[in-house]
């Protein structure tokens, strides 16, 4: 069964039922109907806090370790993750796909295609499956400046 690129199934636990590939037809019909989305009751996000360890250079110490490296101090970073329900995430994905397509068209019409690069998937070259990263954007900027 062929599905569209916005139909990405998630496996995390949430309130409600998991959605499978067999649900694709009714999900697409439901999501693509603006009247149903207007009356859709979105479920609350489930919140999870992920703690990551960080070892940053200690600005209070100017001396070096025996291996001539800077001393590091332990720290932590908390990332707050919010999970939408499975149907809600597909609704967000569907409308994100519609908005992204319209946004790309708008940028092309206004000749902003080479200027606006943030939060976009821009192929490395036409027809490429891989997209540019910040290194390629920086290189193209420096090449433009050199001209």
pLDDT tens-digit series, residues 95-114: 999 999 899 889 888 888 77
User: Tens digits of per-residue pLDDT, 26-68?
Assistant: 999 999 999 999 999 999 999 999 998 888 888 888 888 888 8
Rg (CA), the chain: 23
Q: Encoding tokens for residue 19?
A: 């959605």
Q: b/e map of 103-130 (b: 16 or more CB within 10 Å)?
A: eeeeeeeeeeeeeeeeeeebeeeeeeee
Q: Is the model's pTM score more than 0.75?
A: no
Residue ranges of the domains in the chain? Answer: 117-147
- Please tell me the predicted confidence (pLDDT) of residue 8: 87
């Amino acid at each position: 069964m062929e599905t569209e690129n916005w139909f990405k199934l998630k496996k995390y636990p949430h309130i409600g039922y998991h959605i499978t590939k067999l649900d694709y037809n009714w999900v697409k019909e439901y999501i693509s109907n603006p009247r149903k989305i207007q009356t859709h009751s979105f479920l609350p996000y489930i919140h999870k806090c992920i703690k990551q360890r960080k070892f940053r250079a200690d600005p209070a110490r100017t001396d070096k370790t025996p291996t001539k490296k800077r001393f590091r101090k332990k720290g932590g970073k908390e990332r707050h993750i919010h999970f939408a329900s499975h149907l809600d995430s597909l609704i967000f994905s569907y409308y994100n796909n519609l908005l992204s397509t319209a946004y790309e068209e708008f940028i092309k019409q206004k000749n902003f295609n080479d200027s606006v690069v943030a939060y976009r998937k821009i192929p490395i070259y036409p027809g490429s499956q891989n997209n540019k990263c910040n290194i390629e954007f920086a290189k193209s900027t420096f090449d433009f400046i050199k001209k």
